[in-house]
Amino acid sequence: MSNVLIVAEQFDGKLRKASLHALGAGQQLAARTGGALHVALLGHGIAEAARGLAGFGATVHVADHPALAHGLAEAAAPVVVQIARDCGATLVGAAATAAGKDLLPRAAALLGAGMATEVLGLGGAGPAILFRRPMWAGNVVAEVEITTPVKVFTVRPTEFAPAAAGAAGEVRAVAVGIDAAALRTRSVDFQVVKSERPELTEARVVVSGGRGTKGDFKAVEALADALGGAVGASRAAVDAGWAPNDWQVGQTGKVVAPELYVAAGISGAIQHVAGMKGSRVIVAVNKDPEAPIFQVADYGLVADLFQVLPALAERVKASR
């Protein structure tokens, strides 16, 4: 029997929403394999986040240690391995966030496990799990079988529903022994980007601008603010220095799946589409009727974004 371990993520003692989607994948796996569901939470001062994990039918393993405060993967990976072995997990996963992508490959190496990254769904039948994952910027979806006894994976949070409420699980403290002096990495500084807007990957609405903005993001930002959404950008806009790096949506940026995605002055290159095609409703504003973005858009406006976006923002404000 395969027990399942999901590594949850917290920031500043608060549970990250992406973890609940990873836990949703964990619930599916536990149901298919008949195994028990476990969740690991690592950090320092994380009691509140641990309580947030208790109602999903999983045993919660809480590793609270000062050396785990800054999310150093070198410190955390052996703790994940310890918890995986203690709970007999043969399936070990997390959300494919920046932290998950840093931590899980190290844990996989220590466990001698094969790994599937950015998993979009689960194939196969019963306990024989196949992991569906994108290749070639999402143009090909492969079904991957992992043949090692322990299997490690990261899931795209946008592709799995959040965990369903379940029985209250036991919360267990994990005895952690970390020799902080022996670590070869240390946290030097952490600069948080503070914004009134929602986090890009968690926003209900994302309004993104591309090269068509010619560097003027005011109309994009104003519409995002009118809709209470986040601002995104194409790589062309980021590379030109018009938008910060953490706004980039796409293959080498963030993967988003909001209820509404507005692409303004974005042509719709496959690398951009790979990061937003899971959005529920896609609206494209582009002057070129042949732009490939219209192939994935639910609503397309062949128009100048500098006219359309302010008009939309006014309408949205007036309707409130």
Interface contacts to ligand FAD, rule CB under 6 A: 210-212, 234-237, 248-253, 265-267, 269, 271-272, 275, 285-288, 291, 304-306
Q: Residue 5 or residue 264: which is nearer to ligand FAD going by CB?
A: 264
CB of 231 to ligand FAD, least distance (A): 14
> From the CB of 317, what's the least distance to ligand FAD, in Å?
21
Residue 12 DSSP one-character state: T
Closer to ligand FAD at the Cβ: 158 or 286?
Answer: 286
- d(CA 251, CA 272) in angstroms, rounded, equals 6
Choose between 59 and 267: whose C-beta lies nearer to ligand FAD.
267
Cβ at position 306, least distance to ligand FAD in Å: 6
Cβ-based nearer residue to ligand FAD, 64 or 304? 304
Distance CA 96, CA 118 (A): 6
Could you give the CA distance from residue 129 to residue 145 in angstroms, rounded to a whole number?
A: 7
User: Cβ distance 74 to 107 under 8 Å?
Assistant: no
Output 100 or 138, the one with its CB closest to ligand FAD: 138
**CB of residue 208 to ligand FAD, shortest distance in Å:** 8
Question: Rounded to an integer, what distance in angstroms lies between the CA atom of residue 306 and that of residue 60?
Answer: 50
Closest by Cα among 68, 78, 67, 87 to 107: 78
CB of 294 to ligand FAD, least distance (A): 10
Pairing of strands 151-155, 89-95: parallel
Q: Which of 116, 149, 144, 148 is nearest to 130 (CA)?
A: 144
Report the nearest approach of ligand FAD to the CB of residue 276 (Å): 9
Query: How much helix, strand and coil, in percent to the nearest 5, is found in the chain?
Result: 30, 30, 40
- Find the shortest distance in angstroms from Cβ 212 to ligand FAD: 3
Alpha helices in the chain (DSSP H): 17-33, 47-51, 73-86, 98-111, 218-226, 235-239, 270-273, 293-296, 305-318
Nearest to ligand FAD of 50, 305 (CB atom): 305
Cα gap 254→145, rounded to integer Å: 26
Closer CB to ligand FAD, residue 15 or residue 276? 276
